[in-house]
Structure 1
Amino acid sequence: MSPWRLRLLIVALLTVATLGALDHTIVSTSLATVAGELGALAQMGWVVVGYTLASTVLLPIIGKLGDAVGPRGVFLVSLVLFLVASLACGFAQDMPQLIGARVVQGMSSAGLQLMSQTIVARVTTPRERPRYLAIIGAAFPVAILIGPVVGGLITDHWGWPWVFWINIPFGVGALLLALVAVPKLAGFGRRRFDIAGSVSFAIAMVGLVLAVTWIGDPARAAASVVSFVVAGMAFAAFFLIEMRATEPLVPLRLFADRTIAAGTALSAIIGIGLFSITAYLPTYFQMAYRTTATVSGLVPIATVFGMLVSNLATGWLVGRTGHYRVYCIAGTALSAAGLFVMAVLPVGLPLWVPMIVMAVVGVGTGAFMSLVIAVVQSAAPHRDIGSMTATVNLVRQVGSTVATAIIGGVIGFGVAGLLPAALDAATLTPQFVHQASESVQAQVAEIYGGVFSPVFAALAATYAAGIVAAVLLPARRLADESEPAAAPRSEPLTA
C-alpha cells in the first residue's frame, strides 16, 4: 500500500476500534439509569453479559470466516451490523429488546476487533505490525479512561439512548472512510466449516460464562455447578473435535510452534493478571485507604495510563529494531514485581504510593499487550492469520472473564467471613464505613488489606509464570519484508 493510503487505513481502523472499545465501557455508567427506566433491575447484568458472551463465542468463528472469504467483507458487514444494533439499543422499549440488541452488538464488535488486527497483518510487514497494532490497541486503554466519564455526561444531559446513538455519526464516517481505505484482500478459498467444533465451543463458552456469572449468587449455586460441568464436558469435546477436524476452528497444530504457544500464553496472562483485578481496585482503595469514589478511580487511571504509554513506546521501538523478546521478558518481570509490592504494601499509605506501583504494573503489561499479537501473526501461516489472531484475543478474554469471577468470589466470601458479627457484609458500603467510628474503619481496612494481599500475590505469581513464557520465545527479529504464505514451523517447547 502507498504510505498515504496506509495512514488512511490506520485512521479508519483506529476510529472503528475506538467505537467498539468505548461501546463496552461507556455503557457501564448508564446501567442503573437504563434498568430503572425499563423497570428490570434484576436483568441489568445481562446487558453486559450478553455483549461479552456473544463477542467471545463469535471470535474463532469470525477469525475462520475472515481467512476463508477475506477480512474486508467481514469487517464492513460487522460495522454495518454494529451501527444497526446501536440504533436498536437506543429504541429498545424493554430489557429483552435491549439485551437482544446488545447481543448483536457484541457479535459485530468481535468482527471489528478481529478484522482490524487481521487487515493490519495482511497489509504490513512483520516489522511494521507492532507499531500499527499498538496504535489500534491504544483504543482499549483510552476507552477505559474516558468511557465511564463520557457515559455519565451523556446519560445526565441527553438521556441513556444517546449512549448508543452517539455511535451512529462516528460509525457512518468510519464506514465511508473504510470503504475507501480498506483494500480488497482475497481469502484463501471456501473451506469445509467446522460445525461440530463451533457448536461444542458455543456450548462450552455459554456454560462457562453462566457459571462464573452465577457463582457468587447462593440461590444459583447448584446451577453454577451444573454449568461448570457442562462447560468442562463441552471443552473436552471441542478439543477432541479440533484434533481430528480437517479444517479446525482453532488450528491446534500450530501450537507446536514455540512462538505461537508462548505468545498465546502471554496473552492469557494479561487477561488473568491485570484485566481481572482492575474492576475491584476502586472498592479496595475506598475501603482500605478510606478514599472517596472519585479519588479511588485515580489508581486504575494511573494503571491504564502506564499501559497506554508503554504500548505505544514498545510498538515504535520494535518497529525500528525488530527485537521483541526483551520487551516481553521485561514487561512480565515488571508487572510481577509491581503486583508483589502491592501484596506486601501496608494499607493506609499516601495514595500516590499504590498509584505509582500500579502504574508500573500497567507499564509492564503495555510492553507486550499488542506486541504478542504481532509476534503470533508473524509465526502463523498466512491462511491462518485470522484464526490465530482470534485465538490470541480469545484466551485473553476468557482468562479475564474467569479470573474476574474467581477474584470477586474470593473478595466477597473473604470479607464476609472476617467481618465481626456487628457488621453485615450485604450492607457494607463505602459510605457506611466512612461514617462509622475510627475503630470500625481501621478494622474494615485491615480486613480488606488481608483479603486483597493474597489476591495480588496470586496475580504476581501469574506474571512470574509469564516470565517463563517470555523466555521461551525464540530470540528472533521481526522481518522487515513481506513473508510468503508458508507451512507452520514446528519447534520444540524448550528454551
Structure 2
Amino acid sequence: MTLSPLRLRLLVASLLVVSFLGALDHTVVSTSLATIAGELGALEQLSWIMVGYTLSATVMLPVLGKLGDVIGPRRVFVASLVLFVAASLACGFAPSMGWLIAARVVQGVSSAGIQLMSQTIIARVTSPRERPRYMAIIGAAFPIAIVVGPVLGGLITDFWGWQWVFWINVPVGIVALTLALIAVPHLPGGAHPRFDVAGSVVFTLSLVALVLAVTWVGEETLLLSALVHFAVAAAGFVVFFVIEVRADAPIIPLHLLRNRTILACLGLSAIIGAGLFATTSYLPTYFQMAYRTSATVSGLVPIATVLGMLVANLLTGYLVSRSGRYRPYPIIGTALSAGGLLVMALLPPGAPLWVPMIVMAVVGMGTGGFMNLVFALVQSSAPASDLGAVTATTNLVRQVASTLGTAVVGGVLGFGVAALLPSTLDAATLTPKAVHAASPEVQDAVALIYHDVFSPIFLALAAVYALGIVAAVALPGGRLSDETPATVPDPQTQSV
C-alpha cells in the first residue's frame, strides 16, 4: 500500500510515540521496585514484576506475529494498545503483589504486540529501500527509553507515588490511540486463514519452561527445578518442530530459514541480544566495584553505550535508504563492537573512567549500525504473507539470546567473584556501599577481583561479535528495491 508523504509522516510519528510508550514502560519501573515491594509487602516476589513482563512479552511474539498476518496488523496493533492502557490502569490500582504481577503479564503481552505490529505496519506501507530509515526512527524509541526511563521513574515515584509510574501511560496511551486510529491504514490480513493453534500452545509452554530454567539455574535451591524445566523445554521444542513441519500455516515458517539473508540476520539479531544487552546489564556493577564509582556515576558508561547506539542507528538508516546498499554496515558494526570489547578486556586496572566510556560508546555505535537494519532486511526477503511471522522470529531470537546471555554472564560473575574473594569477605553481602566504606587495601583487592572476572567476560563477548562478522559477511550483496510491497514480486525465493 502506498501512502502520501503527509500520511506516511503522520504514521511514523504515531508509531514512534506508541513504540516509545511500550519501551519506556519496561525501563521506567526499575527505579520504583523497592518502593513497590515495601508498600505491597512482598519483597520475595519483587523480581516477578520484571520477569513476568519480559517472559510474557517474549513468549507471545510468534503468536502475535502470525496473528497479524492472519487478521491484519492494524487490528492487532489497536487491540494491543487498548489492552496496554487497561493493564497500566490495573497496575496502579494493584492492592497486592499478585494483582500487580498479573497486570504486568498483560502489559508485557500488549507491549509486545505494539512493538511488533509497529515494525510490521512499516513493512507493509514502505518500499525495502525506504524501510531502514523508518525502522531506525521507530527503533530509536528503545535506546532513548533506556536513558530516560530510570530517571523519569525515580522522579515520578518520589513526587507522585509509584502508582503514577503506570498511570502516566493512560493519558499518553489515549493520545497515541487517537493518533493510531487516524494514521494507521486498514491493512488486510487473511494470508493464512487457518491459525496454528497447536504450534502456538506447544511453543509458548516450551519457551516459558526454557526462560524459567535459565532464570533459576544460578540458584542452588532451584537447581533441580531448573533441570526439570530444561528437559521439558527440550522435549517441547522437538514436538514443536514436528508440528511446524506438518502445519499448513506455521507460526514460525521454517522454510524461510533456507533464505540466506534471513538466516544471516537471525544470527546478527542473536549476537545483539547476547553480546550487547547481556553486557550493559552488569556494567554499573563493574564500575562501582572496579572503578569505585557511585551508583550515579556508574550509569555514565551504559548511557555512553546507548547514545553511541542511537547515533549509529539513525545514521545507518539514513545512509542505507539513500544508497540502497546495506552489506557494509553489519560488517563494520560487528568488527567495531568486537574490537571495542577486546579493548575492554585488555584495559589495565585503574584506567580513567573516560576511557571505558569512549570504548563502550564505540561498541554501541557498532551495534547500532545494524540493530534495526536486520528487521528491514528480513522483511525484504520474506513474502508479504509472512511479514509478521518473520519480524516476530527476529525479535524472538534477540530476546532469547539476551535472556540466555544475561543469565550466563550473571552466573560467571557470581561464581568468579565468590571464588576469588578472601575468606574475610562474603560475596552474598558484598555491596558497593560496603566496599567504598572499607579500608583502601580491601577496596584495591575487590577492584582487582572484579577486573580479573570481567576481563574474560569481555573477551568472550568480543568472540561472540567476531562470529557476527562471519554472519555479516554471509549476507548477499546488492541494493534494496524502490518498489512498494504491492508491486514487488514474491521474494520467497529471492535474496534482497
Task: Indicate whether the TM-score tops 0.5.
Answer: yes
Contact 1:207 1:228 in 2 (8 A): yes
Q: Deviations over 1:363-385 (max 9, x none)?
A: 00000000000011000000001
**1:18 matched residue in structure 2:** 20
Query: Quick one: structure 1 residues 366 and 274, their matched pair in 2 at CA, closer, same or farther if it must change by over 3 Å?
Result: same
Partner Cα separation in structure 2 for residue 420 and residue 302 of structure 1: 33
Residue 244 of structure 1 and its aligned partner are, at CA, apart by: 2.3
Alignment of 1:210-249 (within 5 A): 210-249=212-251
Residue 169 of structure 1 and its aligned partner are, at CA, apart by: 0.9
**2:361 matched residue in structure 1:** 359
**1:415 matched residue in structure 2:** 417
Partner Cα separation in structure 2 for residue 328 and residue 190 of structure 1: 33
**2:80 matched residue in structure 1:** 78
Give 2:200's aligned amino acid.
Answer: S
Contact 1:47 1:102 in 2 (8 A): yes
Does 1:489 find its partner at 2:493?
yes
Contact 1:258 1:490 in 2 (8 A): no
Partner Cα separation in structure 1 for residue 325 and residue 418 of structure 2: 48
Contact 1:411 1:452 in 2 (8 A): yes
Does 1:260 find its partner at 2:238?
no
**2:197 matched residue in structure 1:** 195
Give 1:305's aligned amino acid.
Answer: L
Partner Cα separation in structure 2 for residue 420 and residue 183 of structure 1: 63
Give 2:115's aligned amino acid.
Answer: Q
Partner Cα separation in structure 2 for residue 398 and residue 247 of structure 1: 23
Alignment of 1:35-74 (within 5 A): 35-74=37-76
Contact 2:128 2:482 in 1 (8 A): yes
Contact 1:256 1:490 in 2 (8 A): no
Partner Cα separation in structure 2 for residue 471 and residue 339 of structure 1: 20
Unaligned runs of 5+ in 1: none
**1:204 matched residue in structure 2:** 206
Partner Cα separation in structure 1 for residue 383 and residue 234 of structure 2: 30
Residue 197 of structure 1 and its aligned partner are, at CA, apart by: 1.2
Residue 487 of structure 1 and its aligned partner are, at CA, apart by: 5.2
Does 1:301 find its partner at 2:303?
yes
**2:473 matched residue in structure 1:** 471
Give 2:310's aligned amino acid.
Answer: L
Residue 216 of structure 1 and its aligned partner are, at CA, apart by: 2.1
Q: 1:174 aligns with which of 176, 186, 190?
A: 176
3-state SS of the aligned residue for 1:486?
A: coil
Contact 1:63 1:389 in 2 (8 A): yes
Residue 245 of structure 1 and its aligned partner are, at CA, apart by: 1.7
**1:154 matched residue in structure 2:** 156
Partner Cα separation in structure 2 for residue 204 and residue 455 of structure 1: 29
Q: Deviations over 1:84-125 (max 9, x none)?
A: 000000000000100010011001011100000000000000
More displaced, 131-140 or 194-203?
194-203
Partner Cα separation in structure 1 for residue 454 and residue 240 of structure 2: 35
3-state SS of the aligned residue for 1:336?
A: helix
Alignment of 1:319-358 (within 5 A): 319-358=321-360
Alignment of 1:107-186 (within 5 A): 107-186=109-188
Residue 240 of structure 1 and its aligned partner are, at CA, apart by: 2.4
More displaced, 352-361 or 342-351?
342-351
Q: Deviations over 1:7-65 (max 9, x none)?
A: 10001000000000000000011011001100000001111111111111110001001
Give 2:493's aligned amino acid.
Answer: R
Contact 2:290 2:446 in 1 (8 A): yes
Does 1:7 find its partner at 2:15?
no
3-state SS of the aligned residue for 1:404?
A: helix
More displaced, 132-141 or 430-439?
430-439
Partner Cα separation in structure 2 for residue 214 and residue 350 of structure 1: 36
Partner Cα separation in structure 2 for residue 289 and residue 224 of structure 1: 35
Residue 243 of structure 1 and its aligned partner are, at CA, apart by: 2.1
Percent identity of equivalent pairs: 67
Partner Cα separation in structure 1 for residue 47 and residue 290 of structure 2: 27
Contact 2:209 2:230 in 1 (8 A): yes
Does 1:92 find its partner at 2:69?
no
Partner Cα separation in structure 2 for residue 407 and residue 490 of structure 1: 38
Q: How many residues align?
A: 491
TM-score (norm 2): 0.98
Residue 485 of structure 1 and its aligned partner are, at CA, apart by: 4.9
Partner Cα separation in structure 1 for residue 389 and residue 489 of structure 2: 15
**1:447 matched residue in structure 2:** 449
RMSD, aligned α-carbons: 1.0
Partner Cα separation in structure 1 for residue 398 and residue 380 of structure 2: 19
3-state SS of the aligned residue for 1:475?
A: coil
Partner Cα separation in structure 1 for residue 386 and residue 366 of structure 2: 29
Contact 1:382 1:485 in 2 (8 A): no
Contact 2:381 2:491 in 1 (8 A): no
Give 1:365's aligned amino acid.
Answer: T
Q: Deviations over 1:124-170 (max 9, x none)?
A: 00011000000000000000001000000000000000000000111
Does 1:436 find its partner at 2:438?
yes
**1:402 matched residue in structure 2:** 404
Partner Cα separation in structure 2 for residue 244 and residue 450 of structure 1: 50
Give 1:319's aligned amino acid.
Answer: S
Partner Cα separation in structure 2 for residue 294 and residue 46 of structure 1: 25
3-state SS of the aligned residue for 1:193?
A: coil
Partner Cα separation in structure 2 for residue 240 and residue 434 of structure 1: 55
3-state SS of the aligned residue for 2:60?
A: helix
Partner Cα separation in structure 2 for residue 137 and residue 167 of structure 1: 19
Partner Cα separation in structure 2 for residue 487 and residue 149 of structure 1: 44
Q: Deviations over 1:345-404 (max 9, x none)?
A: 112110000000000000000000000000110000000011000000000000001110
Contact 2:192 2:249 in 1 (8 A): no
Give 2:355's aligned amino acid.
Answer: V
TM-score (norm 1): 0.98
